Amino acid sequence: MIPLNPQQQAAARHHDGPAIVLAVAGAGKTTVMCSRIAHLMTAHQVNPAAICNLTFSRASARDMAARFQQLFGHLSGSNQVRFSTIHSLAYQVVSRAYRLENRHIHLIEDRRQQLYKPRILRAIYRQINQTFPGEDEMEELLQQISLVKNKMIPENELESLNGAVKRFRDIYLRYESYKKANHWLDYDDLLVVTWEVFSRNPTLLKQYQNRYLYWQVDEFQDTSPIQWEIIRLLTAPENQLFCVGDDDQMIYSFRGSSPRLLLDFPTLYPEAAVYVMDQNYRCPQELVTASNGVIRLNRQRYAKEAISQAGSGGQLEIRSFADGKQQLEGIITKVTQWLQQETASVGLLYRNNLSAVVLADALHEAGISFRSRDLKMTFYSHWLTQDLLHIIDFAHAPHNLELFEKIYYKLNGYVSKQMIAWLKQHPAEKEKPLLNHLCQSPLLSEHYRQKSVKELARNLKSLTRQTGEGIIPFLVDQLGYGQYLERKKQISRETAFQLLEMIHWLSRSIHQPLQLRQQLLDTGKRGNDPVQISDNQTTPRVTLSTVHGAKGLEYDCVAVLDVAAHTFPAPGSVKTALEKGDQSQLEEERRLMYVAMTRARKELWLCCPQSCFRESLQESLFVSEVRHALPEMFAGHFPSLTKGEAVIHQTFGPGEVTSVSETSVGIRFHDGVRQIARDFLQKVLVGKVSS
């Protein structure tokens, strides 16, 4: 056995029966899982071919297999131990079951083939909704279908999911019907079919139960209900099940996982051993204290505190920036400093992919090599981006009726459907500006109508003369596109302003509006390259990733971008907690922040822009929580309170201030109003929060 601490030793020596291991970030869980395999083989003579380790990504399976060979490759039969994703195991099961019935698997997950899941779903969406889905809606549709399968949601409950994707139930049922008629499967179907096969074919199930006698499950907190049902079937009746996870790192509820599964494990298996590994070997004391202070505010968790074994000297900085531009400039400066340390690795993390677009552009401009994980450059096809490009195109081609029909109601000018119909019935002379021609319509007999159309024509002409950073503000303010966004409310105000700020940044160096399209296309093309190396560097030491994509990884230095209210935590999570008393969304956002913070080995930067495209941003709740966790580092930051403001209490959660007196503050929590003495406020209140 390799050197292990007492907690790790206890878990690694577990032999019989079910066990759950609660491993905090940086606790060495992979080492423990590998050590336990070796212990089973050497101390208990377990056949290595009878041990199966399940992970939830191919990269994790490869990494664990490589780690096991590195540590214990000298053991006889070490190459017979199985390391697999649950989907890979399911594929094997379904293949075997289908062979018995003389059938073949036809997967629709290969983008190189015509029968590719997103292509099929786009076609179905268009058939049902009479329009193509945008990239965001397409991603939401794929997530919702996966959620239905993973949570085993019955058909009669599909209506509850209709809000996120228009006519989701109809799309889902037609998709399922198409697949069934053509004998197609997607990845999630592999899980469903495996569960169905095992449920109706006890003989095949028994073969797998006899083949693998010892099961280990990594990242157990990410298990979905359908995956859990398969695991329970496979491990019965002996229940030689060893699960390793951390309820504080459960961040995949959109895939069906829930902290309840891990929390309820001892109830499902009363005989289960419970091991706690709370020693963090990655993060220094300062970062562990801060991350502990944040995550302990969650209620749905095991009560545990990580203990740093990496010494002290960690640096944590909360950096405020006037706007997104200053945030980028500050990050470029900081990354340049970090890279002066010869071997330093840098992780630049963000809640949403939109944050990465301008970041990648700024790094490219600064000549800093980087690699990106799960970066999706879908902004170009977003309807808001296309709106702006269509307006610019029409400004340069004011005779194009097809273009004008796409944008007329999104601009100032009070152009109506009747006016568009008149233009179609009374075509203008070739190359004559449509708005000039429209002024001849009897529909514009009133002076004010004609005046507004003429003003729109003048503004569109002025748009063609705008350059660089003047283009997007002119579109939003002078042409009235900002008012249209306020009326439309199809996306949140925060998302709209983040998109506008991103395009505003990317347009800063162009000389005329028509160059914007190519600038956006070039940015998207660069962003889709996972590794970008500058002329003067070789292997990138900077990684761009969503926090979800960074889970399981670590870096010497970490910067978390856009830590502001309505971005991180995500819009709606605080509001749901305040208005409905449901903290599940907020707790998942807090787990996401915990994951981000615990990626850092030495330095952590929390970057907090105070505005986004001229819109003021409130401070993120999580910034208040970090300050509350480290009062000696952030003394004097507690804000004054006024009636109507939202706050977070370390025990009672979100609440609203109902009264303020010289001696106490009244706060309405979900279970009623409580009076809190002013002397205790700073001890029990984490801070204010924007809903």
Residues 662-691, buried b or exposed e (16+ Cβ, 10 A)? eebbbbebeeeeeebeeeebeebbbbbbbb
29 is in an annotated binding site: yes
Max CA separation in the chain (angstroms): 95
The DSSP call for residue 381 is G
The encoded tokens of residue 407 equal: 């944008």
- pLDDT at position 535, please? 47
Task: Specify whether the CB–CB gap between 232 and 265 falls below 8 A.
Answer: no
Length of the chain measured in residues: 691
Burial of 274 from C-beta contacts in 10 A (0-12 / 13-18 / 19+): middle
Task: Specify whether the CB–CB gap between 54 and 241 falls below 8 A.
Answer: no
Question: Which of 568, 546, 542, 567 lies closest to 555 in space, CA to CA?
Answer: 542
151 is in an annotated binding site: no
Cis peptide before 237 (omega within 30 of 0): yes
Residues 490-508, buried b or exposed e (16+ Cβ, 10 A)? ebeebbbbbbbbbbbbbbe
Q: In what order do the strands lie in the sheet with 214-217?
A: 82-85, 51-55, 214-217, 241-245, 19-23, 273-277
Burial of 118 from C-beta contacts in 10 A (0-12 / 13-18 / 19+): middle
Calpha distance 368→156 (Å, rounded): 52
Calpha distance 288→630 (Å, rounded): 11
Task: Specify whether the CB–CB gap between 307 and 288 falls below 8 A.
Answer: yes
27 is in an annotated binding site: yes
| Residues contacting residue 223 through CB under 8 Å, at least 6 positions apart | 56, 217, 231, 257, 261
165 is in an annotated binding site: no
- pLDDT at position 489, please? 67
| Residues contacting residue 463 through CB under 8 Å, at least 6 positions apart | 391, 392, 395, 471, 474, 475, 478, 479, 513
Task: Specify whether the CB–CB gap between 20 and 184 falls below 8 A.
Answer: no
Calpha distance 537→540 (Å, rounded): 7
* H-only helix segments in 352-509: 354-366, 383-396, 401-407, 417-425, 434-438, 447-463, 471-473, 481-488, 493-506
Calpha distance 616→609 (Å, rounded): 9
28 is in an annotated binding site: yes
The encoded tokens of residue 576 equal: 């749901």
Calpha distance 173→469 (Å, rounded): 47
The encoded tokens of residue 159 equal: 């209506």
- pLDDT at position 689, please? 65
Q: How many other CB atoms sit within 10 Å of the CB of residue 236?
A: 11
The DSSP call for residue 475 is I
Helix (H, G, I), strand (E, B), or coil: what is residue 528? Answer: coil
CA distance readout (Å), 636 to 630, 640, 677? 11, 11, 18
For the chain of 691 residues, list the mean pLDDT of each consecutive stretch of 10: 91 97 95 97 96 92 94 94 96 93 86 79 92 82 93 88 81 93 92 96 95 96 95 96 96 89 92 96 95 93 92 92 93 95 92 88 90 75 88 93 91 87 85 85 76 90 92 92 82 79 88 90 70 60 93 94 90 80 90 97 95 85 88 65 74 79 78 74 64 57
164 is in an annotated binding site: no
Calpha distance 127→121 (Å, rounded): 10
| Residues contacting residue 300 through CB under 8 Å, at least 6 positions apart | 247, 259, 260, 263, 584, 587
CA 449 to chain CA centroid, Å, is 46
24 is in an annotated binding site: yes
Q: What sign has the CA pseudo-torsion 622, 625, 629, 634?
A: positive
653 is in an annotated binding site: no
